[in-house]
Copies of this chain bind each other. A is one copy, B any other.
Amino acid sequence: MNPASDGSRDELDPLERQVVDFFVDGVRVLGLPRSIGEIYGLLFISRSPLALDDLVCRLDISKGSASQGLRMLKSLGAVREANGNGNGERRTYFEPAVELKRLVGGFIREQIRPHLDSGKSRIRHLAETANAVDDPEQRKFLGERVERLEQWMRSSGRVLPILQKLLGQ
């Protein structure tokens, strides 16, 4: 059972701590909040699925953080509900998705694509503004820059699916 008498604050053992810290660092690079790394990390190193309350106790985070963190991880496709334990249990348990392809795919879909798309529309607007400039020299220069941005966008758009494919194995 839980070694803590009050049921909360069931601390991580050193190995779990290492793994959680590894993921905390990992998600920071991706610009995601620390709690996301903590939650995914603990799920990753746990042999059986965990429920929200487990995360709250083991990681010593609030229910709010755990709830929001799980929601984001679900939207990223990084965790899924475990279907195995249906013996009269009401709460839902989660397990991690461990295929890199899936993780990268979710990140691209949720975090990269939307920005790329909004970027493209901003550039379209920019192109119009640049075209309305009077001075021909200046207009030419701006046209070149806008064209450069469009190049960047095309390259990025081409590269993402390849990235995803390459990370599949």
Assembled-state Cα–Cα distance A165/B82 (Å): 40
What is the oligomeric copy number? 2
Q: What is the 8 Å Cβ interface bit string for chain A, positions 146-168, against chain B (1 contact, 0 not)?
A: 00110110011011001100110
A119 partner, pick from B22, B118, B163, beta carbons under 8 A:
B22
Q: Does A90 lie at the interface of the complex (its beta carbon under 8 Å from any beta carbon of B)?
A: no
| Interface hit among A2-10, A56-64, A70-78, A123-131 | A123-131
Assembled-state Cα–Cα distance A21/B162 (Å): 29
Assembled-state Cα–Cα distance A98/B159 (Å): 18
Q: Does A51 lie at the interface of the complex (its beta carbon under 8 Å from any beta carbon of B)?
A: no
* Interface pair B29/A142, CB less than 8 Å apart: no
Q: Which residues of B contact A18 (CB under 8 A)?
A: 122, 125-126, 129
Q: Which residues of B contact A1 (CB under 8 A)?
A: none
* Interface pair A26/B119, CB less than 8 Å apart: yes
Assembled-state Cα–Cα distance A29/B151 (Å): 19
* Interface pair A44/B145, CB less than 8 Å apart: yes
Assembled-state Cα–Cα distance A158/B22 (Å): 20
* Given A159-B166, A159-B167, 9 more pairs with CB closer than 8 A: A22-B122, A22-B149, A25-B118, A25-B119, A29-B31, A47-B141, A98-B145, A155-B167, A159-B163
User: Mind listing 8 A-B residue pairs with CB under 8 Å?
Assistant: A15-B126, A18-B125, A25-B119, A25-B122, A31-B31, A45-B142, A45-B145, A163-B163
